[in-house]
């Protein structure tokens, strides 16, 4: 029974798919790392009193949220040539940039909404204690807002993880790309795609459980 299972098409595809899964996780992690930085700046920028700063970040958010990530990835990979920027972007780098820029626009709205949801009395309380505007944001507003960001940020992680599957069109050797390579070589389409889906679930389900526990712990 065990030997038959080990020799099945499902198990035999795992070593090959594992290579793609590592690339998927790497792109997701790096993309969200930079995307969170971009999103935090954009979210706070949209709350700025400066019309110029607010306008710049608003344009960025609306453009990215209004166009599909597939078009964004294709534009970065094929539209931005080496002659234009002096750098030849490979598929992996393009994938990270695409995920970062796309996730950043959505994280910006998460940050803006969370900060905006904090009662204005909290701002006034900080100022009455002698704190500067920046100190009030850092010590009073941001900790409360961050707790409210956790559920949507977790959801964005899952979305970005699944968005990496689109990057196979620019030959990023992610999980989906490796799955295509494997079933093209073995003609085991059903078995391979089942394992691809299961590997995605092996990441998303534990993440969802962790996030729910974290939400309960923080009483979000």
> What is the pTM (predicted TM-score) of this model?
0.88
DSSP 8-state class, residue 112: H
Is domain 2-218 annotated with CATH 1.10.3720.10?
Answer: yes
Residue 32: count other Cβ atoms within 10 Å of its Cβ: 22
Contact present, 156 and 106 (Cβ < 8 Å):
yes
Tokens of 102: 């796309």
| Cβ partners under 8 Å of residue 24, min gap 6 | 161, 164, 165, 174, 175
- d(Cα 82, Cα 27) in Å, to the nearest integer? 22
Q: pLDDT per position in the chain (220 positions), as tens? A: 455 545 567 788 898 999 999 999 999 999 999 999 999 999 999 988 899 999 999 999 999 999 999 999 999 988 886 656 667 788 999 999 999 999 999 999 999 998 888 877 776 777 777 777 777 777 788 888 888 888 888 889 999 999 999 999 998 999 999 999 999 998 889 999 999 999 999 999 998 888 888 878 776 5
Give the helix/strand (H/E) hosting 123. helix 120-128
The residue extents of the domains of the chain are 2-218
């Amino acid at each position: 029974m065990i030997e038959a299972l080990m020799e099945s098409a499902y198990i035999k595809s795992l070593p090959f798919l594992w290579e793609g899964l590592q690339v998927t996780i790497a792109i997701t992690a790096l993309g969200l790392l930079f995307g969170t930085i971009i999103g935090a700046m954009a979210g706070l920028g949209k709350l700025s009193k400066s019309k110029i700063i607010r306008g710049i970040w608003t344009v960025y958010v609306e453009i990215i949220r209004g166009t599909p990530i597939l078009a964004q990835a294709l534009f970065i990979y094929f539209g931005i040539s080496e002659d234009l920027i002096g750098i030849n972007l490979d598929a992996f780098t393009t994938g990270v940039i695409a995920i970062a820029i796309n996730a950043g626009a959505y994280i910006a709205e998460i940050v803006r909404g969370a900060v905006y949801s904090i009662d204005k009395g909290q701002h006034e309380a900080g100022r009455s204690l002698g704190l500067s505007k920046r100190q009030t944001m850092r010590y009073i507003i941001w900790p409360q807002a961050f707790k409210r960001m956790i559920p949507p940020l977790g959801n964005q992680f899952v979305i970005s993880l699944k968005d990496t599957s689109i990057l196979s069109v620019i030959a990023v050797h992610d999980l989906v790309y490796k799955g295509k390579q494997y079933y093209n070589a073995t003609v085991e389409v059903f078995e391979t795609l089942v394992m691809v889906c299961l590997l995605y679930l092996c990441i998303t389900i534990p993440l969802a459980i962790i996030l729910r526990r974290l939400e309960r712990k923080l009483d979000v």
